[in-house]
Structure 1
């Protein structure tokens, strides 16, 4: 087990249920600001930075998705919580698949957003990792905005978009590259059928980074999974459609707590 002590925050340490939110590649725990503010104050909502992202250090060696999942379990252990709900977006949703398959006794419910059994191709992810290590992060920030947000949102909320791109531009290339390589090594086709936690899969209708057909494939592979499409949003659907996203998460967690 290759765990790294990652940065996390709790909104209500004494609350329940505990819900842990797993962020997208190239973001940090603050991408969940709207959910932390809107989910019930009685819940214990935990956000964290993936290793090599935000305030979390880069781990030893090149991590796997299972290593990222083990970090989540380590957070739950650290706060003294045995069972928790997990909501992950993009790579966070891939981490959720590993959690659901490997820790069925720990995960009460799953929300997997903007994700799939795989994300991109192994070759594309390896090439992306190599390029950010060679050239830095500026180029990936330049191409990410139209993949993360719809044209309409970019026009109406340029300050939100620029803040996300600025964060991406200044993050450690090694942290981003490690996450790409972890994704390159993951294939959920064998993992998904063993997930037993009640699972909600959310997909942005205009998501170019993880297209809706990939979410549908994931929903077909996870026993009993429910698929919901979110209108008028792209990859960061929790940012573009915060009220609907939060409502769906709350309803799913409460129904399966």
Structure 2
């Protein structure tokens, strides 16, 4: 059963690449990647449960539930094997996919993520505050974490659109995703990931620092590590050409 809304750029195209966005964003985050990647590819974007056009579900989802949603999308498209790229919480989802569905995933790109993201206590506290106060405060706090000062100055329209989306999303949707992350620990599964993996970090990311990305890459057998200079947490938005180049090279090498 599919719990999420998705869009496919070229159903039947090869390879199929499924993109999972960051907490508090929607599939519009991948607009530049959809434009930049080869038109022969089937690039699939989706909204996490409670994000964008995807409905909330009755119970709090886990990271494994989000990963199962990705497999449901592939099943709905009739796709047996797919490449996957996830950023932030999307990177946690990718770790679950790589460990649990190695026969379905041809390659992984894990961006702006880690074996854990923040701490369990911090995520639970954040979810409780969002439920009490709404999402306006986390939108205000997220802008300098998601984007470098230079990008905020040069592209206020992009930054404002991302913050506006977060400001108006359902508090429970954000809180549920925080709790899903609070229950995730990649230390338990990283060594079992045999899928060819590339870990990407924004050089100026304070939300998921490069050191955490390096730790993740070291924990996954054979994983490679790449860095995007001049970018913070949403490195796919700040450096779309370089980010897409990394992804395209990795996916094509393992298709």
TMscore range, shorter length: over 0.9
1:111 and 1:255 map into 2 onto residues whose CA distance is: 12
Which of structure 1's runs of 4+ aligned residues deviate more than 2 A? none
Find the counterpart in structure 2 of residue 147 from structure 1.
145
2:41 and 2:155 map into 1 onto residues whose CA distance is: 29
1:39 and 1:180 map into 2 onto residues whose CA distance is: 30
1:211 and 1:58 map into 2 onto residues whose CA distance is: 30
1:26 and 1:9 map into 2 onto residues whose CA distance is: 18
Find the counterpart in structure 1 of residue 38 from structure 2.
40
Q: In the TM superposition, what is the alpha-carbon distance from 1:4 to its structure 2 partner?
A: 4.9
Range moving further from structure 2, 149-158 or 3-12: 3-12
1:86 and 1:95 map into 2 onto residues whose CA distance is: 10
DSSP-derived class of the 1:35 partner: helix
Name stretches of at least 5 consecutive residues in structure 1 with no aligned partner.
none
Q: In the TM superposition, what is the alpha-carbon distance from 1:14 to its structure 2 partner?
A: 2.1
Find the counterpart in structure 1 of residue 20 from structure 2.
22
Match of residue 203, structure 2, among 202, 205, 226 = 205
DSSP-derived class of the 1:92 partner: helix
Find the counterpart in structure 2 of residue 222 from structure 1.
220
2:85 and 2:57 map into 1 onto residues whose CA distance is: 23
Q: In the TM superposition, what is the alpha-carbon distance from 1:212 to its structure 2 partner?
A: 0.5
Find the counterpart in structure 1 of residue 156 from structure 2.
158
Q: TM-score, normalised by structure 1?
A: 0.98
Please give the per-residue CA displacement for 1:136-176, whole angstroms capped at 9, x wherever unaligned: 01100010000000000000001100000000000011110
DSSP-derived class of the 1:189 partner: helix
Residues 2 and 73, structure 2, Cα contact 8 Å, conserved in 1:
no
2:118 and 2:4 map into 1 onto residues whose CA distance is: 26
Match of residue 79, structure 2, among 73, 78, 81 = 81
Instruction: Spell out the pairing of 1:124-143 with structure 2 (5 A cutoff).
Output: 124-143=122-141
DSSP-derived class of the 1:47 partner: strand
Find the counterpart in structure 2 of residue 106 from structure 1.
104
1:143 and 1:194 map into 2 onto residues whose CA distance is: 35
2:107 and 2:80 map into 1 onto residues whose CA distance is: 13
Q: TM-score, normalised by structure 2?
A: 0.99
Q: Are 2:252 and 1:254 aligned?
A: yes
Match of residue 90, structure 1, among 72, 88, 91 = 88
Name stretches of at least 5 consecutive residues in structure 2 with no aligned partner.
none
Please give the per-residue CA displacement for 1:86-143, whole angstroms capped at 9, x wherever unaligned: 0000000000000000000000000000000000000000000000101001100010
